[in-house]
Amino acid sequence: MSKRQKGRRHRRVNRTPRPVGSSRPRTPRPESRPEARSEPRQVPDLGRHEARTWDGLREAGDGGASVDDLCATVGYQARTIVKHVTGLAGHGLAELRGDRWYATAEGRLVCR
């Protein structure tokens, strides 16, 4: 039988809990940062990144947007944009006409 302690050999120093109160004065925090968008867009069944791509597609308007336009607007790589817009097409929020993607009318109604 070994005489060495087998459990909890690390952190022997300062195992006592810290005091509850703080020693320095508290600085007031800003209330909240204003959001960049005027209205929050909530789309069911979309992740944050895919919703960001969809917002970029909606902002393109009736002219639609190519994959390269969405890359510049949203900031993702072309491969990621293609995955997002095909997923949006699966949800019925986008459609491909030629080489441009368009937000569908149903997609415009979902966010409002």
Measured CA angle at 76 (ends 73, 78), to 5 deg: 100
Contacting residues for 81 by C-beta, under 8 A, at least 6 apart: 53, 67, 70, 71, 74
What the block records as the tokens of 72 is 């510049």
| pLDDT tens digits along 64-79 | 999 999 999 999 999 9
Domains of the chain, CATH where assigned? 48-110 (1.10.10.10)
- pLDDT 10s digits, 46-103: 888 998 998 999 998 889 999 999 999 999 999 999 999 999 898 888 999 999 999 9
For residues 26 and 10, give the distance between their C-alpha atoms in angstroms, rounded to a whole number.
33
Measured between its terminal Cα atoms, the distance across the chain in Å is: 71
Question: Six-digit token pair at 20?
Answer: 């509850």
pLDDT band at 4 (very low <50, low <70, confident <90, very high): confident
